[in-house]
Amino acid sequence: MSKPLLDRFLARAIKQGRLGIVFADGSASTYGASVEGFPEIVLRFTDSAVSRDILLDPRLGAAEAFIDGRLMIEEGDVMGLVGLFRMNAPWERGNDHLRPKRLKRLLNKASFAAEQINNRVGSRKNVAHHYDIGNDLYALMLDAEHWQYSCGYWPEGVTTLSQAQEAKLKLIAKKLHLTAGQSVLDIGCGWGGMAIHLAEHHNVHVTGITLSEEQAALARKRVRDAGVADKVTILLEDYRDTAASGRRFDRIVSVGMFEHVGRAQFETFFEASARMLADDGVMLLHTIGRFGSPGTTDAFTRKYVFPGGYIPALSETVAASEKFRLIASDVETLRLHYAHTIRAWYANCMEHKDKIIALYDEKFFRMWTFYLAGAATVFEHGGMGNYQIQFIRSRHALPITRDYLLKG
């Protein structure tokens, strides 16, 4: 019964580009039509349950079948497969026909809500799930110079991943409007790339905090190797504990961390940030964000990638900050920059496929590349972008025009 239902689903979903499927019983079907610029993909299902799993939850069902080797890509690759579906249902046009069944959506929402508490214990566990899987993987995937696991910035003339991450760091530094000697808090400092850049180029004192033991250990080594140990301190610490210590900072930066806070903790995050920011301070929040209204995190991402995470809408992010008298002094939406970044990561993973499989196994490699394919294409065709939101406590903290961003 599931095969005819899947046939109708795919006939609606794929209009441009071609998808061929060889089913477990040896029969084959083709969907869509050849269109320049759209992928052409051929799949093989190794058992009849694949159709049912995809119908129950298209993304999670297809992902798990792919991870387990039950959905095999005979022609094309996973980036093309995920891209084919997203290109046929761009966010701007709406994609209701790709949504899971109503009962599945209700169960997803209920499960999502239960996971959003994200207290101190949960936060540390969730971070470890993704970031403590070993630095060796990230060494193969990220840019070698800055180790930035967040959206790069791709202005005209920038062509490499390292250049894009350097451009991102420079842009954020401009938005922080730094002065030598200032104190900076880096919430979710990763492997120390931002802290090192600010210390080297702006002569500021940076305290970086992370919940990942693997990140903290490598960040401290990278700080020492860069010769800025006198200006950078890396702590294994929750931002709520930093705020409770009573310390205040001239500048606060947080890149790629807010997505892990959890919707239930948005106000806690901004209350803590406002408490730690000096009266004339500046804060820059760089986060993935969803276009349109608030939503939920899909089951695949919650299960395999970022448990406890949530991609915020701009409306709910700003609404949470407003309760603590933080002024959103500048907002920039980066629409396609993360797609370029993730495609570069995907290319690095494909280049180092054998090494990654040796570190983990083939199932992990398939899971990881499915995650990257989904992430890249959601920024190209889905409802995700990146927001850089600059906050101040005093309206006098920055020049009254944005000309300072154009200097240097």
Q: Mean pLDDT for the chain?
A: 92
pLDDT reported for residue 62? 96
Q: What is the pLDDT of residue 117?
A: 59
In Å, how far from its chain's centre is CA 391? 21
Domain boundaries defined on the chain: 2-100, 113-406
pLDDT of 337 strictly over 50? yes
Average pLDDT over every residue of 198-203: 98
Assess whether pLDDT exceeds 90 at residue 156: yes
Contact 386, 86 (CB under 8 A): no
Summarised one tens digit per residue, pLDDT across range 268-321 is 999 999 999 999 999 999 999 999 999 988 899 888 988 888 999 999 999 999
**Per-residue b/e over 176-190, b at no fewer than 16 CB within 10 Å?**
bbbeeebbbbbbbbb
Is pLDDT at 204 greater than 80 in this prediction? yes
Letter for the amino acid at 273? Answer: S
% residues pLDDT > 90 (the chain): 85
- 110-130 pLDDT per residue, tens: 454 555 556 665 565 665 555
Alpha-carbon torsion (349, 353, 359, 361), positive or negative = positive
CATH of domain 2-100: 3.30.1050
Higher pLDDT, 131 or 170: 170
The 10s digit of each residue's pLDDT in 34-64 is 999 999 999 999 999 999 999 999 999 999 9
Closest CA to 123 of 110, 134, 132: 132
Q: Which CATH code for domain 113-406?
A: 3.40.50.150
